[in-house]
Amino acid sequence: MYSSLPKIFVYILIFFIFILNSIVYSANQKILYSGKSISNYFSGIISSNNNNNKLALKYFNNLNHLKNNHNQFNREMIFTLVQTKEISKLFLYLKKLKKKNLNFFDANLLLGISYLLEKNYMKSSSYFNSIIQNRKFSNLEKLIAQLLLSYARVFENRLHDYETELNIISKNYKNFALINKAFISCYLDNKNVDENFLRIINPDTLNFTRYNFFYINFLVSKNRSNEALKVLDKNNDIFNTNLLLDQTKSWLKKRKANKVKDIFDCRNPNHLISEFFYLIANLHSSEENYALSNFYLNLSLYLNPDFIFNNALLAENYFHLEDYQNSKKIYLKFDSKNQIYSWHAKKRLVWIKSKIENDKSAINFLNKSFKKLENPTVKNYYDLANLFKGFEKYEDAIKYYTKVLNDIGSDNPLYSEILYKRGVSYERLKLWKKSENDLIRSLNLVPEEPYVLNYLAYSWLERNINLEKSIEMLEVALSKKKKDPYIMDSLGWGMYLTGRYEEAEKLLQKALQLMPLDPIVNDHYADILWKLNKNLQANYFWNYVLNLETTENEMKDKIKVKLILGVQNHS
């Protein structure tokens, strides 16, 4: 269910108020509000909130008698049917509902889609119009209906003036209109297809990278594969890549252009609506509304099951929802026939294994998966280095960062960042000189890069060297990242080490507001308070750090000493 868990209690309150306001209880009402019905209803809601949608559906299927008496139940049922991919059953369910029970967004949207698929454009349009004209629906919901209405009218009448319709859409949603215009022109195969796609993939304006694929798809369908390759060659950054474009490039270079055409056809109305729902799903995912994103993704995949790569976002959403089993099931479906997506899936499975098994199992899986790669690229080695760094296997990370640095030129935009990451890895191994060399080289390539400045300066502060120079560097870093709590903490710590306690206190207060649960920031703040003779407050924060789950044992041991002796020699 896309609502947050606390809303369950709102539903409970509404449900019981509804019961209490009923004056006469008929035999039917006794069935409606029996203990068993209430138990099934809220068990279903809780299961839905926990993303256990199959179990939720099992509970809701016992409550069909509620569908014409309880509107909230219909919302939950519809959402659950979509999340369990029972779309055909959903359409039948909606058509059996009484009109009075269809006055919410999802019902109107899905009925509009159902009739659109049946090519009953008049009825489809009536449902989209009912959303547009209803004041209680949000601007985004009205926009979705408006754009779907444009599609319905074009599908019904190829001469429909969709451009005028799209041009009047609010400036806040202009990009949606431009994307739809490109797809509709592709569907109509009119003279503006190239122009419309180039407008949305232009790196100097919008640069919606994903839509390069759809332009390439159009070019390939017109036997313009050479032009398609040129579009791909413009996206030639070997590190900053897009999975879909990388996979497309692999197909075209292996002369498998049909693979590009097999997963999408802009002349297919279902495919257009599918991509539209993917766009909405991606928007919700970027806003961390993962369950609602999956709602639109499941509709997208129903409309175009051939676009299997859209499952990657579904798996990613489940991962963020901590539903690792469902995420794992999806990633396991990406086989080695499509190496780009297969490797991406393997990387995500590594992290899933670390969550549901252990790091050792995850690293073993990573090593086995990498060995199976045919002709691994520089990007693959870079991924491997990052994964080892993430698992704190710094020797291995350094080994592969070094290989990548040797394979690319210092003029590569990512060279300085890789030096930074290798420098961090050296620092974690206490190889100070090598770490300094990498971090300074990184700064020589990209002067005043705030995070590199912060890391190098803080590593000096930790060793109590180059204090004044560190503070100067951190002041530059903070001027570039004014709200970064890590840089605030570093600069505050530098001021503490140089005896500027009042200034340090102000900075650490700001850092704490942004990171109240960080053990290091709290510990630093307590040290400063002690130096300002605010011993009770200092003890409070040290005790607070002791009770934080993320506090490491070494820090706890030091804090226990501070609680007895206070700060000794800038400990």
What counts of helices (H) and strands (E) characterise the chain? 33, 0
Q: Which two tokens stand for residue 354?
A: 């670390």
Q: For position 83, what pLDDT does the model report? A: 93
Q: For position 122, what pLDDT does the model report? A: 96
Q: Which two tokens stand for residue 472?
A: 């100067």
pLDDT in tens, 435-490: 999 999 999 999 999 999 999 999 999 999 999 999 999 999 999 999 999 999 99
Domain ranges of the chain: 1-100
- State yes or no: pLDDT of 101 exceeds 90: no
Q: For residues 224 and 236, what is the distance between their CA atoms, to the nearest angstrom? A: 20
Q: Which of 305, 324, 308, 307 is nearest to 316 (CA)?
A: 324
Q: For position 146, what pLDDT does the model report? A: 95
Cα dihedral value 400, 401, 404, 408, nearest 10: -170
The SS3 call for residue 221 is helix
pLDDT in tens, 391-404: 999 999 999 999 99
Q: What is the DSSP letter of 235?
A: S
Could you tell me what percent of the chain has a pLDDT over 70?
Answer: 91
Mean pLDDT in residue range 251-262: 91
Is 529 or 5 the better-scoring residue by pLDDT? 529
Q: For position 334, what pLDDT does the model report? A: 92
Count other Cβ atoms within 10 Å, centred on residue 277.
24
- State yes or no: pLDDT of 238 exceeds 80: no
Q: For position 233, what pLDDT does the model report? A: 83
Q: For residues 184 and 190, what is the distance between their CA atoms, to the nearest angstrom? A: 9
The SS3 call for residue 377 is coil
Q: For residues 471 and 453, what is the distance between their CA atoms, to the nearest angstrom? A: 10
Q: Which of 192, 99, 109, 114 is nearest to 143 (CA)?
A: 109
Q: Determine the residue type at 370.
A: F
pTM: 0.85
Confidence of residue 24 (pLDDT cuts 50, 70, 90): very low
Q: For position 25, what pLDDT does the model report? A: 43
The angle at the Cα of 164, spanning 159 to 166, to the nearest 5 degrees, equals: 105
Average pLDDT, the chain: 90
Confidence of residue 54 (pLDDT cuts 50, 70, 90): confident
Q: For residues 459 and 78, what is the distance between their CA atoms, to the nearest angstrom? A: 55
Confidence of residue 237 (pLDDT cuts 50, 70, 90): low
Mean pLDDT in residue range 499-505: 97
Q: For residues 268 and 274, what is the distance between their CA atoms, to the nearest angstrom? A: 10
- State yes or no: pLDDT of 571 exceeds 70: no
- State yes or no: pLDDT of 6 exceeds 60: no
Q: Which of 409, 477, 410 is nearest to 441 (CA)?
A: 410
